[in-house]
Amino acid sequence: MDVKENMEKIAREAREAAFHLAAVSTELKNKALLAMADALLKEQKDILKENEKDMAAARKSGMSQAMLDRLLLTDSRIEGMADGLRQVAALPDPVGEVLSGRQVPNGLKINKMRVPLGVIGIIYEARPNVTADAAGLCLKAGNAVILRGGSEAIKSNMAIAKALYKAGDAAGLPKNSIKLVETTDRQAVDVLLRLNGLVDVIIPRGGAGLIKKVVENSSVPVIETGLGVCHTFVDESANLTMAADIAFNAKVSRPAVCNAMETLLVHEKVAGDFLPGILKRLTEASVEIFGCPGVCAICGEAKTATEEDWFAEYADLKLAVKIVASLPEALAHIEKYGSKHSEAIVTENYSNAQVFLQKVDAAAVYVNASTRFTDGFEFGFGAEIGISTQKLHARGPMGLAELTSTKYVIMGNGQIR
């Protein structure tokens, strides 16, 4: 069987599973999730052994230390995966929720009800924990899932999937509810992205290159996640102590994540009071500064920012800093260079806060808080499959509800038109 036939077979099997999964009870789904958590712990040794083979091959191929760390599984990481599945089991089932209902004049009762999306394709990199996390979330929302992870993690993923399959079958889940793509042939992704009619949505999870490839090549609808070029604007009326704490937190607390600040914008009227202190604090925390000329004049360690710096998602201890003359200039900068992820203003001025909230086009817009809060757990969703940066379907952190669609359920008594 060639790659195309194989992928179509996987998708047809997942489609069949999805048909049955849509009607599976919450109880059964939860039972399966808990059984999967147990199975991961039971198979822990096998999973670690297979992961060690992936790690050995990756080391030999010269994989970077950061990527090796993502690939590595440990006892505590496997326990974390099992805990994640247990947490998902404890969340309310989104399927069946009636979002709205009405009786129209002719007597038809029209209810809009949450239903599973159907078959979800997850394309990710060499992070084996995604295999369990994504499978658990998709399953709880009643979806069949096709998992395509990075080839460097294939042995780890197969060991994890084997544990999940066995537990799912024993619990009585529809067969093929979870399907790991076992070939590492790159063509498999190309095929998956064109399986309209069999696959309902593709969610890429990974770096900018992966996401771009998926967006540009998929005819199946995609939920774009990821890229965050987040700004914090310190307005002239800001409480400067609060502004410094927010800016420091937004950059330093976890610089590699998508909700970290990448550019700090400062109103010129407070630049002299605000910048020397915060820039000292940042550089002492090893943050490299790329500034406009005004910033460079204040901070001797700053390098001159280029056009690329304003567009950059450093995902690192690096920060672009710019002095702006006004709120409108800050808004225009964000409109031009932002990625519509998370944007914050620090201000004590009511009108400026309102203008910022309205005018900034982003998934999450903050007044007087760190952009680091854009996260499914912080938002109270109890889970997160990713953060959508597109405007269709889901925007911002995506929990279980974002893994569902709706259908209109209509009850009549003979109405014709």
**Near a second copy by CB under 8 A, which window of 43-51, 85-93, 275-283, 355-363?**
355-363
> Which of these, 359, 342, 383, lies nearest to 249 by C-alpha position?
342
By CB under 8 A, name the one of 65, 209, 308, 416 that touches a second copy: 416
Query: Closest separation between CB of residue 67 and a second copy, Å?
Result: 26
Judged by CB under 8 A, the number of residues near a second copy is 69
CA distance linking residue 219 with residue 21, whole number of Å = 25
Burial track 217-255 (b if 16+ CB lie within 10 A, e otherwise): ebebebbbbbbbbbbbbbbbbbeeeebbebbbbbbbeeb
Q: Residue 117 interacts with a second copy (CB under 8 A)?
A: yes
- What are the φ/ψ torsions at residue 295 (nearest 5 degrees)? -70, -40
Closest to a second copy by CB, 61 or 413: 413
Q: Residue 9 interacts with a second copy (CB under 8 A)?
A: no
Q: Residue 110 interacts with a second copy (CB under 8 A)?
A: yes
Give whole-number Cα distances, 361 to 116, 125, 309, 310, 364, in Å: 29, 29, 21, 17, 8
By CB under 8 A, name the one of 129, 131, 157, 374 that touches a second copy: 374
Question: Is 243 strand, coil or helix?
Answer: helix
CA distance linking residue 144 with residue 288, whole number of Å = 45
Q: Which residues make Cβ contacts (< 8 Å) with residue 417, sequence separation at least 6? A: none
By CB under 8 A, name the one of 153, 364, 385, 398 that touches a second copy: 364
Closest to a second copy by CB, 47 or 117: 117
| Neighbouring C-alpha atoms within 13 Å toward the C-beta of 61 | 11
Q: Residue 25 interacts with a second copy (CB under 8 A)?
A: no
Closest to a second copy by CB, 187 or 354: 354
Query: Closest separation between CB of residue 56 and a second copy, Å?
Result: 37
Which parts of 285-314 interact with a second copy (CB under 8 A)? none
Q: Residue 372 interacts with a second copy (CB under 8 A)?
A: yes
Closest to a second copy by CB, 103 or 286: 103
Q: Residue 86 interacts with a second copy (CB under 8 A)?
A: no
- What are the φ/ψ torsions at residue 131 (nearest 5 degrees)? -55, -50
Running DSSP on this structure, what letter comes out for residue 79?
Answer: H
- In the complex, which residues of this chain contact a second copy (CB under 8 A)? 19, 22-23, 102, 104, 108, 110, 115, 117-118, 196, 200-201, 215-217, 219, 221-224, 239, 242, 245-246, 248-250, 253, 335, 353, 357-359, 361-370, 372-374, 378-380, 390-393, 395-396, 405-417
